[in-house]
Structure 1
Amino acid sequence: MPLNVVNDRDGSSRIILTDPAGSTAEVLLYGGQVVSWKNERREQLLYMSSKAQLKPPKAIRGGLPVCFPQFGNFGALERHGFARNRLWSFDNDPAPLPPVNQQSSVDLILKSTEDDFKTWPHSFELRVRISISPGKLTITPRVRNTDSKAFSFMFSLRNYLYVSDISEVRVEGLETLDYLDNLMHRERFTEQADAITFDGEIDRVYLNTPTKIAIIDHERKRTIELRKEGMPNAVVWNPWDKKAKSIADMGDEDYTTMLCVDSGAIETPILLKPREEWKGRQELSIVSSSYCSGQLDPRKLVFIISNFKVRIPHAMEITTIVDNPTNSACRRKCYLDSIFRGVNYSPPLQT
């Protein structure tokens, strides 16, 4: 199937991917960046800054930037590396990857240039296959060393997810893991929470993470599952109100409807010898959440807990906690989870 390429007035080119179910993705050649992913109901799933503009050589805030060969300021190069603000090309010789039914895809490539050699003197080929199928967005990156000497690099897919309300979102799959806190000069901590919820700025690099992470949006009754291979780290970032106001290309209130949960190889850079190749994979998929925001029936809850003989506070206390509108759905869920798991949930709940 021929690619649907749109040439915009600003001189940029976009590739429009469409699957048979009606979901779409838009990919810019600038940065090789996904800037839109919509489901079959035309609902946007990726956040784009309300102030986002395509002004090379600046990167575009939002969507799904490719960070290479550095993440953040974890090195001497420009923040997040240079791949996200270079013009990519169509890959006319892509690797044969297993075909997937009902899939629409594009293959892009970025090769080293003389300008890149001034700051990062290594010859490479960075390939990315971007695919959509019903309910899924899949990205398969590959880095090949075309140099005569070995080099190491970091890599990350920065997922700017669009959420209904950051206070109604929780991230599961990172509990008990160690992380580097960028707000504390990368001091190492261990995650103590049963799930990550949000009431302030967060900027963490989680280490040795599982292949699956769940981002649960209670307000939309929707879960985004992130599955990854070859990228052992996960980054969780939200600037919150004060930091958002200091970011020039981000709206003051944008932090309330966005969350970055990234796949990456950051803590330990990947080492490639000449002619060696690294391959990663990330899949974002949409599933319906089993928990419906604000719809818990306290009587059913008491019945279930009574049958499981779990020690709990008085039933009336549960009823008032669940019914109280000042407690967000996310905090109610954490509280109820803590009952079943026999642990205390630290954020206070109003009774």
Structure 2
Amino acid sequence: MASENVYVEHCKGVNGLDKVILREIRGCSAEVYLDGGQVTSWKNEFREQLLFLSSKATFKPPNAIRGGIQICFPQFGTIGSLEQHGFARNRLWSVDRDPPPFPANTSHRAFVDLILRHSEEEVKIWPHRYECRLRVALGPGGDLMLTSRIRNTNTDGKSFTFTFAYHTYFSVTDISEVRVEGLETLDYLDNLKNRERFTEQGDALTFESEVDKVYLSTPTKIAILDHERKRTFVLRKDGLPDAGEFIVSIH
């Protein structure tokens, strides 16, 4: 039986930043930086990169890493005085040495648990105390699973509201050859038209120009088909009601 070190490696990445590499025996892998709690690489068993990472990504904290899967908390978008997409993607996370039980598949040996807690500086701009836990797991077949838990740690018991998103950049080829299935007949907010509400009329979402929409009450399964590469991303979710679509083209 392979040792645990085959599955999880703690090491240094770009600019000496701490990262964790997850590997599975078939050759698939993922990389997670503690800065931002951010997945920056996800490769299948053929070592093909499945995520987009910008060539302008600087890996210089506290700037967010451009690309991969950004953790957006306590807001997605720009609301009030908080920075865009919240502050979690700009903060240094820690490895969670004592995580609570996660509902993760027991066959997942390649995983890492991270935690982010409030700082007193943050409380000045967002007056709430919290614990944000994240498990990143890589399945034996190469599936990537992210599981988050937010805990209210306000000493006065005061509740708070927040929005959350896994802001994911998938690697695709010709954007005109990409379609998204599972969004038909759904209502969406169009960010290019002052968040006006519309209903999706097509049997699939295709791209002929810039698209920036938030689909409401989406199903648990959405598929992104890249016809040129003959590849399909299947997104499954639980607990996150909406889906924002922003596709980046790589030529």
Provide the TM-score with structure 1 as the length reference. 0.67
Deviation at 1:50, TM superposition (A): 1.6
Query: Deviations 1:4-61 (Å, cap 9, x if unpaired)?
Result: 1112462311100001211000000000000000001100000001211112111111
SS of the equivalent of 2:163 reads strand
Q: Percent identity?
A: 57
Q: Which runs of 5 or more residues in structure 1 are unaligned?
A: 239-254, 259-351
Deviation at 1:153, TM superposition (A): 0.5
Does the 8 Å CA contact 2:135/2:148 hold for their aligned counterparts? yes
- Give the corresponding residue for 2:241: 232
**Residue 109, structure 1, aligned to residue 115, structure 2:** yes
**Residue 210, structure 1, aligned to residue 214, structure 2:** no
Does the 8 Å CA contact 1:67/1:80 hold for their aligned counterparts? yes
Structure with greater helix share of residues: 1
- Give the corresponding residue for 2:188: 179
Matches within 5 A, 1:1-351: 1-2=4-5, 3-8=8-13, 10-97=15-102, 98-133=104-139, 134-147=141-154, 148=156, 149-238=158-247, 255-257=248-250
Q: Distance in 1 between matches of 2:116 and 2:212?
A: 29
Shift of the 230–102 alpha-carbon distance from structure 1 to 2, 3 Å rule, reads: closer
SS of the equivalent of 1:10 reads helix
- Give the corresponding residue for 1:329: none
SS of the equivalent of 1:56 reads coil
Deviation at 1:256, TM superposition (A): 2.4
Shift of the 210–9 alpha-carbon distance from structure 1 to 2, 3 Å rule, reads: closer
Q: Distance in 2 between matches of 1:117 and 1:69?
A: 12
Provide the TM-score with structure 2 as the length reference. 0.93
Q: Distance in 2 between matches of 1:76 and 1:86?
A: 17
Does the 8 Å CA contact 1:37/1:45 hold for their aligned counterparts? yes
Query: Deviations 1:40-90 (Å, cap 9, x if unpaired)?
Result: 110000000121111211111100000000101144310000000100000
Does the 8 Å CA contact 1:125/1:143 hold for their aligned counterparts? yes
SS of the equivalent of 2:83 reads coil
Count of residue pairs brought into register by the alignment: 242
Q: Which amino acid aligns with 1:203?
A: D
Q: Which amino acid aligns with 2:128?
A: H
Shift of the 20–43 alpha-carbon distance from structure 1 to 2, 3 Å rule, reads: same
Report the structure number with the largest CA radius of gyration.
1
Q: Which amino acid aligns with 2:238?
A: E
Q: CA RMSD in A?
A: 1.4
Does the 8 Å CA contact 1:20/1:102 hold for their aligned counterparts? no
Does the 8 Å CA contact 2:24/2:142 hold for their aligned counterparts? no
Does the 8 Å CA contact 2:63/2:90 hold for their aligned counterparts? yes
Q: Distance in 1 between matches of 2:14 and 2:110?
A: 25
